[in-house]
C-alpha cells in the first residue's frame, strides 16, 4: 500500500506534515458521517427483527378476528371459506413432531461425523470428507424434496413395511399402508437436511478441545473412545447443545422439502408410517396459491407463531454459545 494513495486530501501549502496551529477536530466531518452510516447499517438487524414481528402481527389480526374456531386448539384449516375456521393445533404438532424425529436421527450421526472428521480420519481425508458435508449443505431444499418424494420414498416404504410387519404392535408403526408420503419420510429427509449444520457446528466445538486434555486422558491409559468420553465430549457439551438447538431452529422452519414429502393431513396423530403429517411452514407454501385475503392473513398468523418459536429456540442456543464463549475466555 503506497503512502501517496492514502493522502489524497488536498493539503495546505505547508505540506502533509503541517505546521502552524493544530487544526481543530470537525464535528460534522466525514468521520461522523461514516460512523453514523455504519451504526445505522448495524442497527438494521435490530430494526428488521422488530419489523418482522410488527408487520406479521398487523397482518395477522384481521384473520384472527374472523376465525370462528380457537386458533390454538382447532386442527383443521378452512381459512378461505366463510365463515373462516382454522387453527394451528395439527400443524404446530406436526412441526414439532417432524423436527424432533429429524433431530433424533440426525444428531447421533452428525456427532459421529464430527468425531470422524476431528479425531478419526486422516487429516487430508478429513478435509475432503468435510468438503462433501459442505456440499450436502449447499443442495437446495427443493431438490431434496423432489428426490425424497420421487425416489427416496421407495426404500423408506420398504422400511416402513418392515417396521409394521415386525413392530406393528407399537402404535407409532400401526399403519398398514399405503406407504408413501408420511411423517417417517418427511422426518428422514429433514434429518438429512439438518445434518450439515449440526455437523459443522459440533466439528468446531470438538476442534477446540485442548490437546493437553486429550493427551492427559491417553497418558492415563485411556483407549481412543475413552479419551473422547473423558476429555472431548464433556468439554464440548454446551457447544453440542447449542448445535442441536440451532439444528432444531433450522428443522422447524424448513418448508419446501416437507411440502413435497409430508402427506399434508390435518390431524394430531403419532402414526409415523401412513399418509400424514403437516407443518406450519409446509402449510403456508401449500395453501398460499389459492388463498383469499383472509386465508393469506391466516397463513401470516401461523407464520407469526413459527417466528416466535424459532426466535425462542435460536436465542436460547445463542445464549448458550455466548455464555460458553465467556467461560472459555473468548476463544472462537
Q: Which of residues 285-314 bind other proteins (CB under 8 A)?
A: 285, 288-289, 296, 299-300, 303, 306-307, 310-311, 313-314
HEC sequence for the chain: CCCHHHCCCCCCCCCCCCCCCCCCCCCCCHHHHHHHHHHHHHHHHHHHHHHHHHHHHHHHHHHHHHCCCCCCCCCCEECCCCCCEECCHHHHHHHHHHHHHHHHHHHHHHHHHHHHHHHHCCHHHHHHHHHHHHHHHHCCHHHHHHHHHHHHHHHHHHHHHHHHHHHCCCHHHCCCCCCCCEHHHHHHHHHHHHHHHHHHHHHHHHHCCCHHHHHHHHHCCCCHHHHHHHHHHHHHHHHHHHHHHHHHHHHHHCCHHHHHHCCCCCCCCCCCCCECCCCHHHHHHHHHCCCCHHHHHHHHHHHHHHHHHHHHHHHHHHHHHHHHHHHCCCCC
Residue from the set 111, 185, 205, 240 that interacts with other proteins by CB under 8 A: 111
Stretch that binds other proteins, among 67-75, 104-112, 176-184, 269-277 (CB under 8 A): 104-112
Comparison of 167 and 322: residue with beta carbon closer to other proteins = 322
Site membership for other proteins, residue 144 (CB under 8 A): yes
What does the alpha-carbon distance between residue 149 and residue 180 come to, in Å, rounded to a whole number? Answer: 8
Stretch that binds other proteins, among 44-52, 71-79, 86-94, 168-176 (CB under 8 A): 44-52
Question: Residue 232 carries which DSSP code?
Answer: I
Least Å from the CB of residue 294 to other proteins: 13
Least Å from the CB of residue 26 to other proteins: 10
Comparison of 75 and 328: residue with beta carbon closer to other proteins = 328
Comparison of 176 and 223: residue with beta carbon closer to other proteins = 223
Least Å from the CB of residue 155 to other proteins: 4
Which ranges of 4-122 does DSSP label H, i.e. alpha helix? Answer: 30-66, 89-115
Stretch that binds other proteins, among 30-38, 63-71, 85-93, 176-184 (CB under 8 A): 30-38
Binding mask 211-250 for other proteins (x = CB under 8 A): -xx-xxxxxxxxxxxx-x-xx--xx-x--------x--xx
Binding mask 61-100 for other proteins (x = CB under 8 A): ----------------------------------------
Comparison of 208 and 267: residue with beta carbon closer to other proteins = 208
Least Å from the CB of residue 251 to other proteins: 10
CB atoms within 10 A of CB 163: 18
Site for other proteins in 255-284 (CB under 8 A): 255-256, 259-260, 281, 284
* Grid cell in block for residue 170: 407399537
- How many residues bind other proteins (CB under 8 A)? The answer is 120
Residue from the set 252, 262, 264, 272 that interacts with other proteins by CB under 8 A: 252
Site for other proteins in 169-208 (CB under 8 A): 192, 195, 199
Site membership for other proteins, residue 12 (CB under 8 A): no
Amino acid at each position: 500500500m503506497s503512502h501517496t494513495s492514502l493522502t489524497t486530501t488536498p493539503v495546505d501549502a505547508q505540506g502533509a506534515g503541517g505546521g502552524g496551529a493544530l487544526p481543530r477536530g470537525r464535528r460534522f466531518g466525514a468521520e461522523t458521517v461514516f460512523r453514523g452510516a455504519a451504526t445505522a447499517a448495524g442497527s438494521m438487524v435490530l430494526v428488521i427483527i422488530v419489523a418482522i414481528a410488527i408487520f406479521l402481527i398487523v397482518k395477522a389480526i384481521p384473520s384472527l378476528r374472523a376465525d370462528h374456531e380457537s386458533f390454538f386448539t382447532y386442527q383443521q384449516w378452512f381459512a378461505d371459506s366463510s365463515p373462516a375456521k382454522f387453527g394451528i393445533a395439527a400443524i404446530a404438532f406436526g412441526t414439532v413432531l417432524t423436527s424432533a424425529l429429524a433431530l433424533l436421527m440426525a444428531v447421533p450421526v452428525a456427532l459421529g461425523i464430527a468425531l470422524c472428521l476431528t479425531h478419526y480420519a486422516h487429516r487430508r481425508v478429513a478435509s475432503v470428507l468435510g468438503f462433501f458435508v459442505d456440499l450436502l449443505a449447499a443442495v437446495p431444499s427443493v431438490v431434496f424434496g423432489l428426490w425424497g418424494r420421487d425416489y427416496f420414498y421407495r426404500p423408506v416404504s420398504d422400511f416402513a413395511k418392515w417396521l409394521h410387519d415386525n413392530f406393528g404392535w407399537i402404535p407409532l408403526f400401526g399403519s398398514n399402508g399405503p406407504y408413501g408420503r408420511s411423517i417417517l419420510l418427511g422426518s428422514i429427509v429433514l434429518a438429512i437436511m439438518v445434518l450439515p449444520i449440526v455437523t459443522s457446528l459440533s466439528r468446531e466445538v470438538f476442534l477446540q478441545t485442548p490437546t493437553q486434555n486429550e493427551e492427559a486422558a491417553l497418558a492415563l491409559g485411556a483407549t481412543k473412545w475413552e479419551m473422547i468420553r473423558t476429555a472431548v465430549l464433556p468439554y464440548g457439551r454446551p457447544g453440542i447443545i447449542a448445535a442441536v438447538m440451532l439444528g432444531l431452529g433450522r428443522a422447524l422452519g424448513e418448508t419446501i422439502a416437507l411440502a413435497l414429502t409430508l402427506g399434508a393431513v390435518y390431524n394430531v396423530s403419532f402414526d409415523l408410517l401412513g399418509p400424514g403429517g403437516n407443518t406450519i411452514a409446509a402449510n403456508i407454501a401449500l395453501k398460499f396459491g389459492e388463498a383469499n385475503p383472509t386465508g393469506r392473513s391466516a397463513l401470516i398468523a401461523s407464520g407469526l407463531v413459527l417466528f416466535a418459536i424459532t426466535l425462542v429456540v435460536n436465542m436460547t442456543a445463542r445464549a448458550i454459545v455466548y455464555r460458553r464463549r465467556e467461560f472459555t475466555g473468548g476463544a472462537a
